[in-house]
Amino acid sequence: MSGFRTLLYKEILRFWKVLVQTVGAPVLTALLYLLIFSHVLEEHVQVYPGVSYTAFLMPGLIMMSVLQNAFANSSSSLIQSKITGNIVFVLLPPLSYLEFFMAYLIAALVRGFTVGLGVLLVGLFFADIEMRYPLWILAFALSSGAVFACMGIMAGIWANQYDNLAAVQNFLIMPLTFLSGVFYSIHSLPDFWQGVSHFNPVFYMIDGFRYGFFGQGDVDPWLSLAVVTPFVVLLSGLTLMMLKSGYKLRH
């Protein structure tokens, strides 16, 4: 397993050496969202009884940051390695496709959690939030982060250039995260759009994560977990199949 440890260390070090770009910038972006939306809506919106809008907003911003950065870490690493040609130094050693997968997955989760923790620590200056059910928080952070890390690996393997990756981020990742209830409860939407929101898997990730903080959500957390878990299994399996076949990596 020394190859796995080395690759994992390399992937963590890759983003850790540029923390201002990979961690500082996403935290600042989330802080701007928090300041703008809380300033405009704090006095006008109360989603849950006894919970301020700023506090309601915090878990959504944390989870959105975790998901987007988990995707960005694995996808950007692979596309950079493919374009520069140094992917060969990862493919030549006798690493199994499972070790390859786990190294990129864990590194993506580490970056996502680092950014999420940064958003949480900064947000504590603006709102008091409690963590009623930390196990729910951890369960949804791990499972949801793994889903987006797998999506990042798959996108990085599939993409031939940065434009391909940008298209996935702009037309898939951004709409899924922004239209998932980060800034609002779906109960504030018309019936039609509430129904549409239930087909967005990221809604269940955000809502289940938020339940861990307040003990309140738009749907039952067990339902959210039942939706998210199959995505973890399915995308992990598809990613492992792509790695095992060598699709766009060895061929």
Per-residue pLDDT tens for 116-159?
A: 999 999 988 888 888 899 999 999 999 999 999 999 999 999 99
E strand map for the chain: none
Query: To 5 degrees, how large is the angle CA 103–CA 210–CA 151?
Result: 30
Torsion of CA 200, 172, 115, 41, to 10 degrees: -60
Q: How far is CA 122 from CA 18, 73, 116, 154, in A?
A: 20, 22, 10, 32
Query: Per the structure block, which two tokens stand in for 205?
Result: 């990730």
What residues contact 159, with CB distance under 8 A and at least 6 apart? Answer: 75, 78, 79, 82, 165, 168
User: How far is 15 from 236, CA to CA, in rounded Å?
Assistant: 23
Query: Per the structure block, which two tokens stand in for 103?
Result: 């190294």
CA 147 to chain centre: 8
User: How far is 18 from 21, CA to CA, in rounded Å?
Assistant: 6
User: How far is 60 from 209, CA to CA, in rounded Å?
Assistant: 8
Contact criterion met (CB below 8 Å) for 240 and 98:
yes
Helix, strand, coil distribution of the chain in percent, nearest 5: 75, 0, 25
What residues contact 4, with CB distance under 8 A and at least 6 apart? Answer: 95, 99, 102, 103
pLDDT at 251: 61
Q: pLDDT tens per residue, the chain (251 residues)?
A: 588 999 999 999 999 999 999 999 999 999 999 888 877 776 766 777 778 888 888 999 999 999 999 999 999 999 999 998 888 888 888 889 999 999 999 999 999 999 999 999 998 888 888 889 999 999 999 999 999 999 999 999 999 999 999 999 999 999 999 888 888 888 888 888 888 888 999 999 999 999 999 988 889 999 999 999 999 999 999 999 999 998 888 76
What residues contact 59, with CB distance under 8 A and at least 6 apart? Answer: 129, 206, 209, 210, 212, 213, 214
Residue 125: half-sphere exposure toward Cβ, Cα within 13 Å: 7
